[in-house]
Structure 1
């Protein structure tokens, strides 16, 4: 019986919202959950994946949605490639097109290469309507890459 309680507690802990920062003048997500992280900075191991779920509410009809990540280290900001930039393919229990008012959860899987040094990095995720280039949702979070 205690093993069952431990499993339930671990599952509940993994679903806890993670503190995050809103992007200036861009819509914020309803909720962000980064695996194994409830507050910033989130510790991420070299060679592992950042896995997060982002809840959004479509403020308009959206046919195509793209995930764009920018990473800032030592004041330098670069685009960070994702293995699957088509956010429609990474929606959990929903799909594109989204209609105004639809609630959707996007699942981010962002590999952290072993070549990335042990540094603090700010990561910004934008979900963009590619037909209008309008940002649907944006947030950023501080990560600490560790060994």
Structure 2
């Protein structure tokens, strides 16, 4: 019983913390928006990512369909150029609650990190998307960001 209750309490606390510290983000056209996004240390855009650190983000969403896979995609958009940021090909291990396969209407919390290294000081729009089976979009958001020196 304790094995079940403890994760539920942790999830509830994370949900409450994230809701009270949600980051204002932009939606992606034609793709379901998250319930909320929490970019640690950022309430409003532009989010500042400090060189040599790791940015941490939480994304709460409702699964719009059942999917065996969940793939993270990040793209930096700047000056008309889109640059993909590699995040691996499996978001499932980063689900704070739930597991893959995800089920339609599951309320899920995903945690991901972005190492901020090897970038110049620059401003851009970060688009983050989770894709399910067949590259079908699950959820998406955009946030204005800037890489800055510490």
Task: Tell me the TM-score normalized by structure 1.
Answer: 0.85
- The size of the alignment, in residue pairs, is 134
Q: Deviations over 1:95-121 (max 9, x none)?
A: 1111111110111111111x2111101
The alpha-carbon deviation at position 15 of structure 1 amounts to: 5.4
Match of 1:88 in 2: 92
Superposition misfits of 4+ residues, deviation over 2 angstroms: 12-15
Q: Please tell me whether residue 121 in structure 1 is matched to residue 120 in structure 2.
A: no
More helix by share: 2
Q: How far 1:25 sits from its partner (Å)? A: 1.0
Q: Deviations 1:60-85 (Å, cap 9, x if unpaired)? A: 11111000011112221111112x44
Q: Does 1:72 align with 2:77?
A: yes
User: Corresponding residue for 1:134?
Assistant: 136
Query: Of 18, 33, 40, which residue of structure 1 is paired with 2:38?
Result: 33
Report if the CA contact (8 A) 1:54-1:105 is conserved: yes
What do residues 35-83 of structure 1 show as CA deviations (whole Å, max 9, x unaligned)?
000000011101111210000101111111000011112221111112x
Instruction: Give the aligned CA root-mean-square deviation in angstroms.
Output: 1.8
Question: Alpha carbons of 1:47 and 1:85: their partners in 2 closer, same or farther (altered >3 Å)?
Answer: farther
Gaps of 5+ in 2: 1-16
- Indicate the SS of the match to 1:132: helix
- Say whether the 8 Å CA contact 1:14–1:36 is kept in structure 2: no
Relative to structure 1, the CA distance from residue 89 to residue 13 in structure 2 (aligned partners, 3 Å threshold; closer, same or farther) is closer
Unaligned segments of structure 1, at least 5 residues: 1-11
**CA offset at residue 26 of structure 1?**
1.1
